[in-house]
Amino acid sequence: METSKYEITYIIRPDLEDAAKTALVEKFDKILTDNNADIIDSKDWQKRRLAFEIKGYNEGLYHIVNLTTDNNEALTEFDRIAKYSSDILRVMIVNRED
């Protein structure tokens, strides 16, 4: 099976304490690696004003993960669990062609 490159951008609620944010990022990185994804990098981007209010927030902390995987299990599981997390406001997964 061919390995594909993906970028996951997710928005974390801005009032999350630093320790809780670090634990959240580690948890979601582990979901990816536990499901056979190889993380290239996982980094905070910045706090940005949102175009529209999401769950009562006008700002969010953006986090970006670049990864490779040869199956969609990691992406499916990440997306599924992120939807139930009250700390994540939005998730976008993009297949990178570069």
Q: What does the pLDDT look like over 20-32, one tens digit per residue?
A: 999 999 999 999 9
Q: Quick one: pLDDT at residue 71?
A: 85
Q: Quick one: pLDDT at residue 5?
A: 96
Q: Quick one: pLDDT at residue 86?
A: 95
Q: How confident is the model over 46-72, as pLDDT tens digits?
A: 899 999 999 999 999 999 999 999 988
Q: What is the 3-state secondary structure (H, E, C) of the chain?
A: CCCEEEEEEEEECCCCCHHHHHHHHHHHHHHHHHCCCEEEEEEEEEEEEEEEEECCEEEEEEEEEEEEECCCHHHHHHHHHHHHCCCEEEEEEEEECC
pLDDT exceeds cutoff 70 at 1 = no
CATH 3.30.70.60 fits 4-89, yes or no: yes
